[in-house]
């Protein structure tokens, strides 16, 4: 094992215990650390609490599922309050990845709260006709693809519903988000958690949840900056 790999492992352990202190939810952390995902703990907990406590009534729709970690944490949150199911939209053309996805949601006992939709977003849009209260977009990160996903599904969002987009650190994603969300009169940008930017449709109805995660994100950023000044910087 290289020095860099050792550093990454130690940082991952540090992140685990920090998240345990901040969120006090071992179940979600155990899901995260059993699965392959680029979603950080604070991002996962944000999605979990949006699904569990977010405003309004309507479906939860996810564009881009991969192995299903974000799908599972949202389904777990919604299931805890006996709320709506998650539509997981992803072609998952790789048979192995599709198998991992199905095995993961079954292992975590949320298969009854997830509708796997093995298709592209434009195919999903052809038959979908329900209000959405939480829309999470983390599919293809090319500008045209992100823009298309937003424009296809934004009109289904209820007033006060949340749209969240992952990997806004990427120029292609940021360009589409700026064009369709940030500079649009339809949305109120609420903030950024890790690499997720989130906004409310027309009116802000999730003030307590937003303030909580903005505060936690500041704490996380300060601790990360302190960690980066040590030997553990990677």
Sign of CA dihedral 210, 81, 24, 44: negative
Which region among 1-5, 41-45, 84-88, 95-99 has the lowest average model confidence (pLDDT)? 1-5
DSSP H helical segments within the chain, as ranges? Answer: 3-23, 26-34, 41-53, 69-80, 95-107, 121-127, 143-153, 171-177, 207-227
pLDDT given for residue 14 in this prediction: 84
pLDDT given for residue 224 in this prediction: 87
**What pTM was computed for the model?**
0.93
pLDDT given for residue 27 in this prediction: 85
Tell me the average pLDDT across 100-116.
Answer: 96
pLDDT given for residue 205 in this prediction: 95
> Can you give the residue ranges of every domain in the chain?
36-217
Which numeric CATH code is attached to 36-217?
3.40.50.150
pLDDT given for residue 22 in this prediction: 84
Query: Is the pLDDT score of 61 beyond 90?
Result: yes
pLDDT in tens, 196-212: 999 999 999 999 999 99
Tell me the average pLDDT across 67-88.
Answer: 97
C-alpha distances in Å from residue 199, one per residue of 31, 59, 74, 95, 190: 26, 17, 17, 34, 5
pLDDT in tens, 12-51: 888 888 888 888 888 888 888 787 677 888 999 999 999 9
Which region among 23-32, 126-135, 173-182 has the lowest average model confidence (pLDDT)? 23-32
What is 23-75 written as a DSSP string?
Answer: H--HHHHHHHHHS--S--HHHHHHHHHHHHH-SSS-EEEEE--TTSHHHHHHH
pLDDT given for residue 127 in this prediction: 92
What are the structure tokens assigned to 189, written together?
A: 């940008």
Phi-psi region of 176 (alpha: psi -120 to 50; beta: other; left: phi over 0): alpha
């Amino acid at each position: 094992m290289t020095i860099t790999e050792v550093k990454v492992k130690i940082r991952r352990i540090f992140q685990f215990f920090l998240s345990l202190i901040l969120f006090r939810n071992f179940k979600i952390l155990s899901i995260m650390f059993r699965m392959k995902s680029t979603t950080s703990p604070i991002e996962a907990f944000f999605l979990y609490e949006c699904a569990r406590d977010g405003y309004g009534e309507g479906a939860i729709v996810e564009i881009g599922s991969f192995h299903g970690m974000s799908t599972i944490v949202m389904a777990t949150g919604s299931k805890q309050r006996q709320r709506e199911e998650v539509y997981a939209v992803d072609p998952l053309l790789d048979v192995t990845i599709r198998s991992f996805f199905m095995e993961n949601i079954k292992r975590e006992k949320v298969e009854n709260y997830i509708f796997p939709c093995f298709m592209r977003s434009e195919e999903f849009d052809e038959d979908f006709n329900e209000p959405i209260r939480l829309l999470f977009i983390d599919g293809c990160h090319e500008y045209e693809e992100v823009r298309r996903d937003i424009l296809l599904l934004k009109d289904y969002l209820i007033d006060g519903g949340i749209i969240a987009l992952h990997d806004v650190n990427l120029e292609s994603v940021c360009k589409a988000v700026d064009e369709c969300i940030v500079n649009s009169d339809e949305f109120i940008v609420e903030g950024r958690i890790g690499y997720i930017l989130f906004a409310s449709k027309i009116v802000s109805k999730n003030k307590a949840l937003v303030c909580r995660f903005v505060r936690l994100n500041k704490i996380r950023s300060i601790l990360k900056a302190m960690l980066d000044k040590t030997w553990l910087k990677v």
